[in-house]
């Protein structure tokens, strides 16, 4: 935004640089529960989607105001110049006119379906979801209804981008898909390399970049149909975000920020003054993320989702209201990434707790079984 680049962290803090990453300044020390998931510049304003609502700044991040707190875990933001669109965890797509504070659901039938990413064309809205692939809707008119359009059944789509007339989707897994007919059909890209979970896309001229959680950065010069790695000097391959700022590329990793000034051919660390998103020792607050189970209440099964910024020994355990362990869903080492596990409950109705532990990090949530 303007001369600034912003970095949001798992701990909720926001940092800003005005010198292309030479020095970062803390501009918003949010609480750890307010992890930052999305930024969107809009002229003199910048919007930030967090775990606790939508924040807005009109002075380049100097001060922030809560714009909407009744929608939580905001994962994606987009605008077509006339309207804003927001994707949230546990909901579908919300929309609002520019400058308005009120948000309305695009399609109430999709309540409960987490949206991870958004992409817009002149007439359509595309949303990448948790476990339901891509859903789409016309922006206006009688066809304004969300419906499934691919690319694979029950896929989690972390990232979406529109390049000309092509839509490119990055599902959780090892394949990138593209569509040249508005999502009616999808084709897997020519890999040549492994895609271990695409987290973000960025466009620089005729090149499309992908940041992946475990494989670093890849580039495509044919609108997502084929890819090659661009990781020289990139010391951490767990890329959580990638943006273009002028002639520079920036990637956010769980060990800080790296910059490329030569179209991704080489990378250098630019984390001076920036608290890393994560750290190996677990003592400086690297954050695991544990989602609310869905559905909740449930009968007889529910899905638990979580993400890891670091490789760690992970345990996911179910307890009853007395604190007694009744099920262990995960107990193994896992790489950085986003995971889902289903629990088929063979226990009486009641309140239960599920606990995720990764290294020294622990998070617990409550769920309700109703038979």
Kindly state which CATH superfamily the domain 289-369 is placed in: Macroglobulin (MG2) domain (2.60.40.1930)
pLDDT at 112: 59
State the pairing for strand pair 301-308/289-290. antiparallel
Q: Is the pLDDT of residue 70 over 80?
A: no
Q: What is the mean pLDDT of residues 77-82?
A: 86
Strand partners, 352: 320, 367
Confidence of residue 140 (pLDDT cuts 50, 70, 90): low
- Is there a common fold for 5-269 and 289-369? no
The pTM score is 0.72
pLDDT at 282: 25
Lowest mean pLDDT among 70-84, 103-117, 197-211: 103-117
Q: pLDDT tens digits, residue range 201-226?
A: 999 999 999 998 778 899 999 999 88
How far apart are alpha carbons 232 and 338 in whole angstroms? 25
pLDDT, averaged across the chain:
80
Q: Is the pLDDT of residue 161 over 80?
A: yes
How far apart are alpha carbons 231 and 248 in whole angstroms? 15
Pick 13 or 111 by higher pLDDT.
Answer: 13
Confidence of residue 349 (pLDDT cuts 50, 70, 90): very high
pLDDT at 204: 94
Q: What is the mean pLDDT of residues 270-281?
A: 48
Q: pLDDT tens digits, residue range 339-348?
A: 888 999 999 9
DSSP string across 97-135: ETT----EES-GGGTT--EEEEEE-SSEEEEEESSS-EE
DSSP state of 185: S
How far apart are alpha carbons 13 and 34 in whole angstroms? 8
Q: Is the pLDDT of residue 76 over 50?
A: yes
Kindly state which CATH superfamily the domain 5-269 is placed in: TolB, C-terminal domain (2.120.10.30)
Confidence of residue 153 (pLDDT cuts 50, 70, 90): low
How far apart are alpha carbons 52 and 68 in whole angstroms? 9
Confidence of residue 109 (pLDDT cuts 50, 70, 90): low
How far apart are alpha carbons 90 and 73 in whole angstroms? 8
Q: What is the mean pLDDT of residues 166-193?
A: 85
Domain extents in the chain: 5-269, 289-369
pLDDT at 291: 82
pLDDT at 29: 54
Pick 287 or 7 by higher pLDDT.
Answer: 7
Structure tokens at 343: 């629990």
DSSP string across 252-263: EETTEEEEESST
How far apart are alpha carbons 129 and 114 in whole angstroms? 6
pLDDT at 108: 56
Q: What is the mean pLDDT of residues 8-29?
A: 75
pLDDT at 279: 25
Cα of first residue to Cα of last residue in the chain, in angstroms, is: 51
């Amino acid at each position: 935004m303007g001369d600034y680049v912003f970095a949001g962290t798992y701990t909720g803090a926001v940092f800003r640089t005005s010198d292309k990453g030479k020095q970062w300044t803390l501009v918003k020390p949010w609480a750890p529960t307010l992890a930052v998931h999305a930024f969107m510049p809009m002229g003199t304003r910048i919007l930030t989607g967090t775990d606790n609502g939508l924040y807005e700044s009109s002075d380049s991040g100097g001060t922030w105001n809560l714009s909407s707190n009744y929608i939580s875990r905001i994962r994606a933001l987009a605008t077509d110049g006339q309207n804003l669109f927001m994707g949230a965890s546990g909901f579908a797509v919300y929309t609002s006119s520019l400058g308005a504070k009120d948000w309305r659901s695009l399609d109430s039938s999709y309540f409960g379906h987490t949206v991870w990413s958004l992409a817009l064309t002149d007439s359509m809205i595309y949303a990448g979801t948790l476990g339901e692939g891509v859903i789409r809707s016309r922006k206006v008119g009688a066809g304004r209804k969300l419906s499934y359009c691919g690319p694979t059944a029950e896929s989690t789509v972390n990232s979406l981008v529109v390049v000309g007339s092509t839509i490119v989707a990055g599902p959780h897994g090892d394949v990138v898909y593209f569509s040249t007919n508005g999502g009616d059909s999808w084709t897997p890209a020519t890999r040549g390399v492994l895609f271990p979970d695409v987290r973000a896309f960025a466009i620089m001229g005729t090149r499309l970049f992908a940041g992946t959680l475990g494989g670093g950065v890849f580039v495509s010069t044919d609108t997502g149909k084929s890819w090659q790695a661009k990781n020289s000097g990139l010391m951490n391959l767990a890329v959580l975000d990638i943006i273009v700022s002028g002639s520079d590329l920036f990637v956010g990793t769980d060990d800080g920020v790296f910059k490329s000034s030569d179209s991704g051919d080489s990378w250098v660390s630019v984390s001076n003054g920036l608290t890393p998103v994560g750290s190996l020792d677990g003592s400086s607050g690297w954050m695991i993320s544990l989602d609310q189970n869905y559905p909740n209440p449930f009968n007889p099964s529910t899905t638990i989702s979580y993400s890891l910024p670091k490789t760690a020994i992970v345990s996911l355990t179910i307890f009853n209201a007395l604190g007694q362990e009744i099920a262990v869903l995960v107990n193994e080492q896992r790489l950085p990434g986003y995971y889902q596990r289903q629990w088929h409950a063979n226990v009486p109705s009641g309140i239960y707790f599920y606990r995720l532990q990764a290294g020294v990090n622990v998070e617990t949530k409550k769920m309700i079984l109703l038979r």
